[in-house]
């Protein structure tokens, strides 16, 4: 466990929060997250930003209505991650709910076609002779693919949320909150959020034209919010207030037993009680199982799980996804062991400041579908931006990049590309994650350039690793009531992080459970009784150095065992004192 700095954040509590009935600890926590009024925690659907504020949405709706009226074939081209799968499922389900029967989907196999709407995937799409092609969670960088589709006489609607490059695809319509000229207040919509908004606007326009009085009953688009919540959390986009509304509403549907069959069955295989799930369950229980299909096999398997209404079909696919996820873990563990051998010189460094500022790794035997997870693991271990490459073909390698706070990884790739034309064959992504392809022969030079650029943008303090704490809990705060109040104040997630507290504890007892987790009994000064705690993936050697006292950064959570609820600490980090 790398030594980290615990930094307490501060913020003035507004009068509105002080006058509320919220627990004083929650008042402080919310003030740290720039919440000034309890009203800002109202996640009713009518608080959503109106769809009309998305640039291009009216034209997108008009394009889809033409297809519906003329009974044209609509083909959805998705992506091979959880956001792409949920986006595809939302689009398929919504169009069928609106009475359109000529709907199909296509998801590129990452090993054969790579990411997005490529000319090669357009050639496959043309076999189905679609009239309208809708991209979901991709397309903003598909210049050549959109051109190929238009040359084939296909109408193209690009829906995406990724950052736009210097050139936009020549689609008939683009809907993307991050495209130039779009004034949509939330730039954090996931791909599934974008397509959900389009379907809301489509239903509204059909309603205004009297479509439902002539054809079918008006559908409740709220039925899709479970998928929207899943894709939003799994894609780790910031949970601004608009995204929190979408996630909160989706979670409520799931907790009430109104999730689609696929989500219910995946949660069953993961051993989760759907009536008690929180946002983290979407990211840690469903997301990895869904992503396993795209990483190791074909995301069509995951999409089929999300669009079927047959429980038996969903159950069978959920079990397949669970097995794929287990295989993914085994592959990842082997790759991680190999990576750590390659990084022995890093681990043996006397000081963290001697590590490269940006880490690049390549192994021709590594699995393309798992390099992103490996990059995340190494980033967490060394608190450095990391790019992990795997073999694509004899001359090309594909990389998956993960960044840390303070470094926009896509901007770094764009800078390297502009200063070294031709080195990066293609790239795209977000501030914290990106993908790219380079020639294998250029790896060493790219590794050098990447480290140089990261070094220019980050100082040693940024690389140390900082845990932001909401402060210290009082002796009377270690209780179930506050733990449940914190849990119920979510959804917590990226950009609206679950509260973390810190303090010193006496270690009353400890033991190793599950081979690599530390189960502890801790007592805070002045507290009347001890509290159970667990530190996941923490070697016993760390506790053996503690001499009975530790300083810990932790979350106050609810533990339920044999129908009995108790407060429990989830220890994120600890050090001897």
Identify the CATH assignment for 46-322 out of 3.40.50.1010, 3.90.1640.30, 3.40.1350.10, 2.40.50.140. 3.90.1640.30
| Domain covering 467-576: architecture | Beta Barrel (2.40)
Say what the pLDDT of residue 305 is. Answer: 97
pLDDT average, residue stretch 519-547: 85
Q: Which residues are registered as beta bridge partners of 503? A: 552
Q: Do domains 343-464 and 467-576 have the same CATH topology?
A: no
pLDDT in tens, 57-79: 999 999 999 999 999 999 999 98
Segments in 209-276 forming alpha helices (H): 211-214, 225-234, 241-255, 261-269
Q: How confident is the model at residue 562 (pLDDT cuts 50, 70, 90)?
A: confident
Pick from 286, 289, 287, 372: which is nearest to 324 by CA? 289
CA–chain centroid gap for 482, Å, is 27
pLDDT tens column, 481-518: 999 999 999 999 999 999 999 999 999 999 999 878 99
- The pLDDT tens digits for 328-386 are 888 888 888 888 877 765 555 544 546 789 999 999 989 888 898 899 989 988 889 99
Contact between 141 and 116 under an 8 Å Cβ cutoff? The reply is yes
Query: Which of 475, 476, 468 lies closest to 496, judged by CA?
Result: 468
H or E stretch covering 386: strand 386-391
The chain-wide mean pLDDT, for the chain, equals 91
Cis status, amide bond into 491, omega within 30 of 0: yes
- pLDDT of 350: 40
| Mean pLDDT of all residues in 253-264 | 96
302 Rama sector, left if φ>0, alpha if ψ -120 to 50, beta otherwise? alpha
Cα 503 from Cα 552, distance rounded (Å): 6
Top-level class of domain 343-464: alpha beta
Per-residue pLDDT of 532-541, as tens digits, reads: 999 998 877 7
Residue pLDDT, tens place only, 405-448: 889 999 999 999 999 999 999 888 778 888 999 999 999 999 99
**Predicted local distance difference test score (pLDDT) of residue 111:** 64
User: What mean pLDDT do residues 204-226 have?
Assistant: 91
The domain ranges of the chain are: 46-322, 343-464, 467-576
56 vs 378: CA distance, rounded Å:
40
In sequence order, what are the beta bridge partners of 152? Answer: none
CA distances from 200 to 62, 182, 203, 266 (A): 13, 18, 5, 27
Condensed to tens digits (0 to 9), the pLDDT of residues 21-58 reads: 999 999 999 999 999 999 999 999 999 999 999 999 99
| In the predicted structure, residue 568 carries a pLDDT above the cut 70 | yes
Residue 215's pLDDT is what? 63
Give the mean model confidence (pLDDT) for residues 377-406: 91
For the segment 225-255, what is each residue's pLDDT rounded down to a tens digit? 999 999 999 998 999 999 999 999 999 999 9
């Amino acid at each position: 466990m790398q030594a980290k700095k615990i930094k307490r954040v501060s913020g003035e509590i507004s009068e509105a929060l002080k006058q509320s009935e919220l627990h004083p600890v929650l008042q402080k926590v919310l003030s740290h997250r720039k919440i000034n009024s309890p009203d800002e925690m109202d996640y009713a659907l009518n608080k959503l930003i109106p769809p009309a504020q998305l640039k291009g949405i009216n034209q997108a709706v008009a394009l889809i209505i033409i297809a519906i009226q003329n009974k044209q074939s609509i083909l959805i081209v998705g992506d091979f991650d959880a956001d792409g799968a949920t986006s595809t499922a939302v689009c398929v389900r919504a169009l069928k709910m609106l009475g359109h029967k000529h709907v199909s989907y296509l998801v590129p196999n990452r090993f054969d076609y790579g990411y997005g709407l490529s000319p090669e995937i357009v050639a496959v799409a043309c076999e189905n002779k679609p009239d309208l092609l809708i991209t979901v969670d991709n397309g903003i960088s598909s210049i050549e693919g959109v051109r190929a589709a238009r040359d084939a006489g296909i109408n193209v609607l690009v829906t995406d949320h990724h950052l736009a490059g210097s050139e936009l695809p020549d689609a008939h319509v683009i809907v993307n909150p991050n495209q130039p000229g779009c004034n949509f207040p939330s730039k954090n919509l996931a791909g599934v959020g974008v397509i959900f908004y389009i379907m809301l606007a489509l239903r509204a326009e059909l309603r205004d034209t009297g479509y439902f009085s002539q054809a079918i009953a008006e559908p409740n688009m709220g039925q899709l919010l479970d998928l929207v919540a899943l894709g939003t959390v799994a894609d780790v986009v910031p949970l601004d207030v608009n995204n929190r509304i979408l996630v909160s509403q989706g979670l409520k549907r799931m907790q009430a037993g109104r999730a689609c069959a696929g989500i219910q069955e995946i949660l069953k295989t993961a051993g989760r009680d759907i009536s008690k799930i929180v946002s983290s369950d979407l990211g840690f229980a469903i997301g990895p199982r869904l992503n396993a299909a795209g990483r190791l096999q074909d995301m069509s398997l995951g999409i089929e799980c999300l669009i079927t209404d047959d429980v038996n079909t969903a159950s069978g696919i959920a079990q397949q996804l669970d097995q794929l996820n287990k295989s993914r873990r085994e592959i990842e563990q082997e790759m991680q062991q190999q990576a750590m051998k390659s990084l022995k010189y890093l681990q043996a460094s006397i000081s963290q400041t001697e590590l490269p500022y940006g880490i690049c790794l390549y192994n021709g035997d590594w699995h393309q579908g798992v390099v992103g997870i490996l990059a995340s693991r190494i980033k967490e271990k060394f608190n450095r931006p990391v790019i992990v490459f795997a073999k694509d073909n004899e001359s090309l390698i594909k990389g998956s990049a993960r960044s840390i706070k303070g470094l926009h990884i896509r901007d770094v790739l764009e800078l390297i590309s502009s200063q070294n034309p031709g080195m990066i064959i293609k790239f795209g992504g977000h501030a914290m994650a990106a993908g790219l392809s380079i020639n294998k022969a250029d790896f060493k030079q790219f590794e050098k350039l990447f480290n140089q650029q990261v070094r220019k943008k980050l100082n040693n303090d940024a690389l140390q690793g900082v845990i932001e704490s909401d402060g210290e809990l009082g002796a009377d705060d270690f209780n179930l009531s506050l733990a449940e109040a914190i849990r119920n104040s979510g959804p917590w997630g990226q950009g609206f992080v679950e509260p973390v507290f810190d303090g010193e504890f006496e270690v009353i007892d400890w033991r190793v459970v599950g081979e690599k987790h530390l189960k502890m009994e801790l007592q805070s000064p002045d507290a009347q009784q001890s509290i159970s705690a667990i530190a996941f993936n923490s070697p016993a050697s760390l506790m053996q150095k503690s001499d009975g006292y530790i300083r810990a950064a932790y979350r106050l959570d609810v533990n339920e065992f044999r129908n009995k609820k108790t407060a429990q600490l989830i220890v994120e980090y600890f050090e001897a004192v």
